[in-house]
Amino acid sequence: MKQVNGKPKKWQWLLCLGMIGTGFLLQLPIFPAELGDRLSPVLAISGLGILLLLWRQKEKYEDLSPEEQRELDRRDRDERNQMLYEKAAWRCWQGETMLFFLSYILLALFADKISFLAHVDYRIFSWILLAYWVRVLIFELVRWRLGRKY
């Protein structure tokens, strides 16, 4: 994913609108009420907050002189900054992986000692683990594809 310092990109606007739209769609009666009650406000408010931040970023970008705008656009394409961004994303990915596995192992070891987990169906943890492995598989497939392409 490309780091953006200047003018927000179309995909960022679409992501915010998608979050807001999904939040409103979850209120429809075809979805379970508990899902709509829990996720709908979080998605709609997060999307609205990010939308406001993007709008502010766009306003700040338009207030700059054309030379400063070109400098920000050049900085977005600069190889060093892109390398730093990708390295930070990779380290965050690795940290998230370790945190996920440690929490899953701790949950498996101490689930019977945690009172609120006594009422939880353990199949949901298997689905979460499956979703995580699918995400890792997609990542590796994209990396393999990019390695062949470039």
pLDDT in tens, 83-128: 887 888 888 888 888 888 787 777 777 777 777 666 666 677 777 7
Q: Are 117 and 107 in contact (CB under 8 A)?
A: yes
pLDDT on residue 81: 78
pTM of the model: 0.56
Instruction: Compute the distance between CA of residue 110 and CA of residue 107 in angstroms, rounded to an integer.
Output: 5
Q: Is the pLDDT assigned to residue 2 strictly greater than 60?
A: no
- In which residue are the tokens 């998605």 written? 43
For range 29-54, the mean pLDDT = 89
Cβ neighbours around 99 below 10 Å, total: 10
For range 51-68, the mean pLDDT = 92
Instruction: Compute the distance between CA of residue 61 and CA of residue 106 in angstroms, rounded to an integer.
Output: 46
Instruction: Compute the distance between CA of residue 144 and CA of residue 74 in angstroms, rounded to an integer.
Output: 29
Instruction: Compute the distance between CA of residue 5 and CA of residue 26 in angstroms, rounded to an integer.
Output: 32
For range 51-69, the mean pLDDT = 92
Q: Are 39 and 23 in contact (CB under 8 A)?
A: yes
pLDDT on residue 118: 66
Q: Could you read off the pLDDT of 11-37 as tens digits, one per residue?
A: 899 999 999 999 999 898 888 888 788
